[in-house]
Structure 1
Amino acid sequence: MLYRNFGRTGFKVSAIGMGTWNIGNQWGNIDDGTALATIRSAFENGVNLFDTAEGYGIPPGLSEIRLGQALTGIRQQVYIVSKIGSWGRREGNPIPKDSPENIRLCAHACLYRLRTDWIDVMLCHEGSIEDPSIYLEGFEMLKEQGHIRAYGISTNDLEVLKKFNVNNTCQVLEIDYSLLNRKPESEILPYCQEHGIAVMIRGPLAKGLLSGKYSTDTVFTDTIRSKWHKKEKAQQKLEKNIAKVENLKTVFPSQQEMVTGALRYVISHPVQPVAIPGAKSPEQAAINAIAGEKLLSVEERENLHKCMENTSASSDSVPVTAAAG
């Protein structure tokens, strides 16, 4: 596993982390034992950064609870990232974030569920927030009290990030980025590089599409991806993305090679991001971790761009051994 400096935080983190949205039953039921074994498998394969959120899970908070249980005895060896801003949102009854004290209230609940005295990075989970001043004040209080070590925001919007970084105190950005979504490359990732903001990549496998195991006949039934079938526009976008993934199979003929290559694509960006793919089994966590062993060259990344658009790239353009290890 490659380890890298995490922006200005002073943390040394694994190039591949683990997202825990998947172990909270929203992506299909998973039992406690499997969830805990999956987290431990990631750790045993070199992962030392784990991402979660107060609202992840059915019931909400389940992902944090399971992560806290799994990290018992190894808490000092890992970094935990959590997010507040989504508690009760799914049920239509969100806790109002109208005072710094409510921010602190939610953070203390996270600490309880995670069985820890501190959280390494706390993120605002409102990606379209217009005025983040309440969060900034609350996070500063939590940092002064030693309950969090760094803070930032999860957003895909550069203007929102700039507002959150108004005092140059935003240390971490979490953003959706993958071979199927390269929009961040144009502005927001360069902004982070310029300002020393650490970057975490959610959706590096595009909610599983970049595993290469789905076709246009696939019907998703989990609570997250089933939404793709409910609107014609979303269904059309899904089919277009699956066609692009089919192009990648000329470079990555197996599912494991596809996963590894897709993850290496995002962690090879010059901003040195940490990818946080999810996993629902120990085997899947171990496969994800393999991607953190090496990076892609600039030429390999460019050829993957061409392949996604079905242009002049061929299977010889990006050696599978270099991309998939």
Structure 2
Amino acid sequence: MLYREFGNTGWNVSTIGMGTWNIGNQWGEIDEDTALTTVRSAFDNGVNLFDTAEAYGIPQGLSEERLGKALQGIRDRSYIVTKIGSWGRRTNEGLPKNVDTIRLCLQASLFRMKTDWADAVLCHEGDIEDPTVYLEAFEGLKQQGYLRAYGISTNKFEVIKQFNIAGNCSIVELDYSLLNPKAEAKILPYCIEHNIAVLVRGPLAQGLLSGKYTTDTVFTDTIRAKWHKNEAKQSKLDRDIAAVKALSANLPADTTMATTALRYVISHPAQPVAIPGAKSPEQAALNAQAGDRLLSATERDALLQSMKEPEAV
């Protein structure tokens, strides 16, 4: 595993982290023993950064609970990034947003994860127009020692700039992959300029870049079933699968689709950390192995070109 400086935090983190959305039953049922051994497998293979959120899981908070159990005994050798702002959203029972509520939400997260501090907390409202309440709450919690750094999870450039208005945003989490390279235009250069650490959710495009799926695939989990909701969404899914098929025809014989996709993301000059999910110890280990080398600029350009030519397949 390769490690790198994480923006301005001073942390030395693994190029491949682990997202824990998948271990909370929203991507299909997973028993607790498997969830815990999956996290430990990632750690044993060099992963030292784990991403979660207060609302991940069925019931909400389950991912944090399982992550906390899995990291018992190794908490001081790992970094936890959690997110606040989505509690109750799925059931239309969101909490009011004020400094006290945000403080209570973090305290609840710390309780679920069995830890005294979070290494980082992110605002989980990606379209927020005025982040003042989060900035005030996070700065206060940082001064109290409950968190070490803070930032935002969003795909919107203007939202990032507003959140960083005082220069205190340490981390941006965003959707970025071979299927969605939009962040390369503005957001990633901005993060380089301001020395902001980058976390990449969706580096495998919610599994599509594993190369396992065809246009006959029907997703039934609560996250991806929406891809079949209407003709427009189904058409986009079909286009994405065609693009992945085009890429697979140009892969080196000694690598896999998932490994290539992860390496593409972590090889950007912004030095992102990819946080793919996993539902088994074996999958966690395979994801981690992608962090043992980077791609050259030439290799990255060739991959993007392959994705742009699905009609040639």
Q: TM-score range by the shorter chain?
A: over 0.9
C-alpha distance in structure 2 between counterparts of 1:27 and 1:256, whole Å: 26
1:165 aligns with 2:132: no
Query: Please, what is the CA RMSD of the aligned residues?
Result: 1.6
Contact 1:211 1:256 in 2 (8 A): no
For residue 29 of structure 2, what is the aligned residue in structure 1? 29
Contact 1:45 1:286 in 2 (8 A): yes
C-alpha distance in structure 1 between counterparts of 2:255 and 2:263, whole Å: 12
C-alpha distance in structure 2 between counterparts of 1:220 and 1:208, whole Å: 11
Instruction: Measure how far apart 1:253 and its partner are.
Output: 7.3
Q: Secondary structure at the match of 1:139?
A: helix
Instruction: Measure how far apart 1:306 and its partner are.
Output: 1.2
Q: Secondary structure at the match of 1:13?
A: strand
Contact 1:213 1:255 in 2 (8 A): no
C-alpha distance in structure 1 between counterparts of 2:86 and 2:306, whole Å: 37
Q: Secondary structure at the match of 2:80?
A: strand
**1:218-297 to 2 correspondence within 5 Å?**
218-252=217-251, 257-297=256-296
Relative to structure 1, is the Cα distance of residues 184 and 240 closer, same or farther in structure 2, using a 3 angstrom cutoff?
Answer: same
TM-score with structure 1 length normalisation? 0.94
Q: Secondary structure at the match of 1:90?
A: helix
For residue 17 of structure 1, what is the aligned residue in structure 2? 17
Q: Secondary structure at the match of 2:174?
A: strand
**Quick one: which amino acid aligns to residue 286 of structure 2?**
I
For residue 8 of structure 2, what is the aligned residue in structure 1? 8
**1:51-66 to 2 correspondence within 5 Å?**
51-66=51-66
For residue 211 of structure 2, what is the aligned residue in structure 1? 212
For 1:198-222, what per-residue CA distance to the aligned partner results, in whole angstroms no more than 9, with x for missing partners?
A: 0000000000000000000000000
**Quick one: which amino acid aligns to residue 165 of structure 2?**
V
For 1:225-278, what per-residue CA distance to the aligned partner results, in whole angstroms no more than 9, with x for missing partners?
A: 000101211111000000000011113378961110000000000000000000
Q: Secondary structure at the match of 1:29?
A: coil
1:190 aligns with 2:189: yes
Contact 1:67 1:114 in 2 (8 A): yes
For residue 299 of structure 1, what is the aligned residue in structure 2? 298
C-alpha distance in structure 2 between counterparts of 1:24 and 1:256, whole Å: 29
For residue 135 of structure 1, what is the aligned residue in structure 2? 134
**Quick one: which amino acid aligns to residue 310 of structure 1?**
E
Relative to structure 1, is the Cα distance of residues 122 and 154 closer, same or farther in structure 2, using a 3 angstrom cutoff?
Answer: same
Relative to structure 1, is the Cα distance of residues 278 and 2 closer, same or farther in structure 2, using a 3 angstrom cutoff?
Answer: same
For residue 50 of structure 2, what is the aligned residue in structure 1? 50
**Quick one: which amino acid aligns to residue 57 of structure 2?**
G
1:113 aligns with 2:142: no
Contact 1:35 1:66 in 2 (8 A): yes
C-alpha distance in structure 2 between counterparts of 1:42 and 1:70, whole Å: 11
C-alpha distance in structure 2 between counterparts of 1:102 and 1:195, whole Å: 30
C-alpha distance in structure 2 between counterparts of 1:256 and 1:205, whole Å: 15
**Quick one: which amino acid aligns to residue 46 of structure 1?**
G
1:80 aligns with 2:80: yes
Contact 1:256 1:287 in 2 (8 A): no
Q: Secondary structure at the match of 2:89?
A: coil
**Quick one: which amino acid aligns to residue 236 of structure 1?**
S
Give the paired residue count. Answer: 313
For residue 40 of structure 1, what is the aligned residue in structure 2? 40
For residue 181 of structure 1, what is the aligned residue in structure 2? 180
C-alpha distance in structure 2 between counterparts of 1:85 and 1:253, whole Å: 42
C-alpha distance in structure 2 between counterparts of 1:255 and 1:52, whole Å: 32
Aligned structure 1 segments of 4 or more residues deviating by more than 4 angstroms: 253-256
Instruction: Measure how far apart 1:80 and its partner are.
Output: 0.1
For 1:88-147, what per-residue CA distance to the aligned partner results, in whole angstroms no more than 9, with x for missing partners?
A: 1101101111x2111101010010001000000100000000110000000001000000
For residue 317 of structure 1, what is the aligned residue in structure 2? none
Structure 1 gaps, min length 5: 315-325
Relative to structure 1, is the Cα distance of residues 305 and 190 closer, same or farther in structure 2, using a 3 angstrom cutoff?
Answer: same
Taking every aligned residue pair, what percent have the same amino acid on both sides?
A: 66
Q: Secondary structure at the match of 1:239?
A: helix
Structure 2 gaps, min length 5: none
Contact 1:48 1:79 in 2 (8 A): yes
Instruction: Measure how far apart 1:13 and its partner are.
Output: 0.3
C-alpha distance in structure 2 between counterparts of 1:248 and 1:130, whole Å: 38
C-alpha distance in structure 1 between counterparts of 2:250 and 2:274, whole Å: 21
C-alpha distance in structure 2 between counterparts of 1:281 and 1:251, whole Å: 28
Instruction: Measure how far apart 1:79 and its partner are.
Output: 0.1
C-alpha distance in structure 1 between counterparts of 2:203 and 2:8, whole Å: 23
